[in-house]
Amino acid sequence: MSRIKFRLPTAVIATLVGTAALSAAAQAAPIGAYTTKGAWSFVSAPKLHPPKLTTTTKTQRGLASGYFMTGVFKNLTINKPMIGQSGPLILDRNLQPVWFNPINVNALAANVRVQTYNGKPVLSWWQGAVSGTGATTSGEDVVVDQHYRHVATLKGADGWIISEHEMIISGPHAWVTSYKTVPMDLRRYGGSAHGAVLDSAVQEYDLATGKLLYTWDALNPGGKPNIPLSQSQYKAFPGLPWDAYHINSIQLTGHETFLVSMRNTWSAYLVNRLTGAIDWTLSGNPKVSTFALPSNARFHWQHDVELHPGNVVSVFDDACCGLKGVSGGKAQFATPNGPARGLVLKLDLTKHTGTMVSQYIRAKDFFVAFLGSTQLLPGGNVALSWGSTAFFSEVSSKGKVLFEAAWPTPDLNYRTYVQTWVGTPYFPPSGEVRNNHGKATVYASWDGATQVASWRVLAGSSASNLKAIASQDKTGFETTIPLTSAFKVYKVQALDSGRHVLGTSGAFPTNSSNSGLPGAY
């Protein structure tokens, strides 16, 4: 059993001891309203303002290879502007932006990951709006290729809203988590006669056409529920749609089955895609679990359940929180079941038992209200996103903290994956120059380019009369290159480690930018 030990004091989010706004629509400003104070600003890319993250402990050796794939989300219980823009964001191990695509201020971004489509690597992410209680009110999945060219945008069909929780590309299709509001008499569950249930579904779409191909939903209106409402651990209250299930992860497990996590039933279900039947249930509620779990292996309000070879299961165990009541239009959370943790279990499919292999706890009094993920990395490390708190980290298999980052409040992320990625933008590099007392400073960047090792500056009296005058190794997202004199016109060239030219900016005169940036998706 592994336990994470941190030097810094534990942070506990205010929502666990206070109240949360019920609807993002109640906010005076757009959901993605932001300030640039505390965010990055770049001379050569003036439209980009991703948030600045910081490390909370000294970074150790032994990190897995790859970038941090994340989306700039917001803690909607905090009524203040975001630090920086929302959008899909790739960070290097020094927390420098590698690629950032700001989205509309009326939306947030989440669940950025590398996938394969038509045999080639792509990036996918979700963007949309979420209420203060976690209900998705609008959403779509976006896919771009290695050159950041748009490949597809997927929206829900037949009244379903695609949520931020999962999007898996399999062949030409995409599997997503979706929600739909279904009217229902909920008096027997504590709700009203004219209540509604937020149904949760696993759906398969044709990614190219957007056609809905398959739906398996928990409520199954008009028939016997696939998951009885009685399994919900989340109370129904009059006047609120009842989020009885809250789907938050899908995994295609082969043999025409998929594993789906329902946060509010404390359960993950292995479902036969062809029949719709549930083959087995893994639950922190012993009354419904197919597997007998010892008390230290039981989880509550979980996210991101994944089955691995050898019948090993990883879970992010939020252990928090039920809805205790509603007062003054605000939700009141119940007491946490325990500290948040990354959890690894081992299942015995013959004996129908499970045991805890390891757990990764940030601190015994560290509570997470929602979100979160546990990613088992090649080589044994574990990447942990600490949900509704500001942190994500990477630890060794033994629990040694190798890295931890913190978002500026009120920013956070749903999940942060560690993945490898090679980006070769279709648009050119960006350059800008500033003059000061006869000397010039050139600024160079190339949003999303992962193979740039150094920069070369071309300058002269006109765009047709340029020569190389300086070069410098790349330093972070934007490289600053001081010159000893000034010229009328400039270009910058991005060079790889072999000093081959990867791309050349357009010509830019003194104090006039050439950003080369694509439009937001």
Q: Residue 482 maps to which CATH number?
A: 2.60.40.10
Q: Is the pLDDT of residue 200 over 70?
A: yes
Instruction: Say which amino acid occupies 347.
Output: L
What pLDDT does 29 receive?
A: 85
Instruction: Show which of 392, 419, 446 is a domain's final residue.
Output: 419
What pLDDT does 511 receive?
A: 66
Note whether residue 424 is domain-resident. no
- Structural domain of residue 501, as residue ranges? 430-509
What pLDDT does 136 receive?
A: 85
> Predicted confidence band at 26 (pLDDT cuts at 50, 70, 90)?
very low
Could you give the number of structural domains in the chain? Answer: 2
Note whether residue 6 is domain-resident. no
Q: Is the pLDDT of residue 25 over 80?
A: no
> Predicted confidence band at 237 (pLDDT cuts at 50, 70, 90)?
confident
Pair (85, 197) in one structural domain: yes
Q: Is the pLDDT of residue 480 over 90?
A: yes
What pLDDT does 130 receive?
A: 86
Q: Find the Cα–Cα–Cα–Cα dihedral 184, 190, 194, 195, rounded to 10°.
A: -60
Q: Rounded to an integer, what is the distance from CA 229 to the centroid of its chain?
A: 29
Q: How far apart are CA 188 and CA 477, in angstroms?
A: 57
Note whether residue 514 is domain-resident. no
Share of the chain above pLDDT 70, in %: 91
Alpha helices in 43-162 (DSSP H): none
Query: Strand runs (DSSP E) across 171-311, as ranges?
Result: 173-184, 195-206, 212-217, 247-254, 257-262, 267-272, 278-283, 303-308
Note whether residue 517 is domain-resident. no
Instruction: Show which of 419, 454, 483 is a domain's final residue.
Output: 419
Pair (389, 346) in one structural domain: yes
Pair (194, 323) in one structural domain: yes
Q: How far apart are CA 139 and CA 99, in angstroms?
A: 22
Contact predicate 212/157, CB 8 Å: yes
Q: Is the pLDDT of residue 513 over 70?
A: no
What pLDDT does 325 receive?
A: 79
Instruction: Show which of 382, 400, 419 is a domain's final residue.
Output: 419
* 357 CB-near residues (< 8 Å, 6+ apart): 312, 344, 345, 346
Pair (458, 319) in one structural domain: no
Pair (442, 313) in one structural domain: no
Pair (207, 92) in one structural domain: yes
Pair (438, 414) in one structural domain: no
* Domain CATH code at residue 240: 2.130.10.10
Average pLDDT over every residue of 123-142:
88
Pair (343, 375) in one structural domain: yes
Average pLDDT in the chain: 92
What pLDDT does 286 receive?
A: 98
Note whether residue 29 is domain-resident. yes
Pair (203, 87) in one structural domain: yes
Least confident of 296-300, 329-333, 374-378: 329-333
Share of the chain above pLDDT 90, in %: 85
Hey, what are 333's tokens? 């959370």
Note whether residue 440 is domain-resident. yes
Average pLDDT over every residue of 165-179:
97
Note whether residue 227 is domain-resident. yes
What pLDDT does 27 receive?
A: 46
Strand order across the beta sheet in which 478-482 lies: 430-436, 439-445, 478-482
Note whether residue 31 is domain-resident. yes
Q: Is the pLDDT of residue 59 over 80?
A: yes
How do residues 151-166 score in pLDDT, each as one tens digit? 999 999 999 999 999 9
Q: How far apart are CA 28 and CA 17, in angstroms?
A: 24
Average pLDDT over every residue of 121-128:
98
Pair (364, 385) in one structural domain: yes
Q: Is the pLDDT of residue 330 over 70?
A: no
Please measure the distance between the N-terminal and C-terminal CA atoms of the chain and give it in whole angstroms: 44
Pair (402, 442) in one structural domain: no
Pair (301, 443) in one structural domain: no
Q: Is the pLDDT of residue 141 over 70?
A: yes
Q: Closest by alpha carbon to 341, among 279, 280, 270, 389? A: 389
What pLDDT does 12 receive?
A: 35
Q: Is the pLDDT of residue 28 over 80?
A: no
> Predicted confidence band at 32 (pLDDT cuts at 50, 70, 90)?
very high
> What b/e readout covers 62-89, taking b as 16+ CB neighbours within 10 angstroms?
ebbebbbbbbbbbbbbbeebbbbbbbbb
What pLDDT does 333 receive?
A: 83
Q: Is the pLDDT of residue 69 over 60?
A: yes
Average pLDDT over every residue of 144-151:
98
Q: How far apart are CA 125 and CA 416, in angstroms?
A: 12
